[in-house]
Amino acid sequence: MSRNSFLAVFNQKAALTIFLVGKLIRFFFFFAFIVFLLKGTKSLAGYNLNQTLLFFFTFNLIDTISQFLFREVYRFRPLIVSGGFDLVLSKPINALFRSLMGGADVIDLITIIPLTIATFYVASLLNPSILHTTFYILLVLNGLVIASAFHIFVLGLGIVTLEIDHTIMIYRDLTALGRFPIDIYKEPLRGIITFLIPIGVMVSFPAKAIMGLMSPIGVAWSLVFGGLILFLSLKFWKFALKKYTSASS
């Protein structure tokens, strides 16, 4: 399915080039903004330039990988509206897997490798221990688990309400708050985006872990929390399927 998705994109080379260049320009503008900001202020919520850049790179790494894997979510609503989801349910493949990962995004795939290298280079400048590096990797994976749960919730909501385009964009806007350390936000917003809408657990905790700011108990709690969010999203997906009305009914 991903191969077919890649071929469809590669057949439109001009559009591929424009989107890829646009992503790179957007990334470098944010990167330059952080550099110039920290050159003047020297710190952001107590974090120096390299630490702030690590938050930024970690956000982009988790966001890019999730967009690469779950691009099919953006094409889910037409399936529901047209009745094409009936065919998905009738085929011998898990409907959630087909709806969630039925067409990866080659544009994001192209950027994942250099982004991963840049992230670990910036992280290496902080001289982390092996333990803190392990915590970082575990929490990045946990961030992807939480991102998966968010996308599953969006799919379920799309079945129940037929509304998915605005929901996924709200998700993108909320996760964008994780570009910077969540410490820059005042309460109660900081608490809301840390626990209620777990952007902090998803994006900020990995960066804090590699800086030695997360205890083993905090890391373990984050992993349990990520597993719980995924479990609840799967339960909601099953509930949404029971509410689905096929095109023929």
Domain ranges of the chain: 2-243
In the numeric block, which tokens belong to residue 226?
């990520």
C-alpha to C-alpha distance for 237 and 160, rounded to whole angstroms: 10
Q: What is the mean pLDDT of residues 231-241?
A: 95
156 vs 42: which has the higher pLDDT: 156
Residue predicted with more confidence, 75 or 52: 52
**Cis, bond preceding 188 (omega within 30 deg of 0):** yes
Residue 208: is its pLDDT beyond 90?
yes
- What is the largest distance, in Å, between two alpha-carbon atoms of the chain? 63
Q: What angle do CA 100, 106, 111 make, to 5 degrees?
A: 110
pTM for this predicted structure: 0.88
With cut-offs at 50, 70 and 90, classify the pLDDT of residue 44.
confident
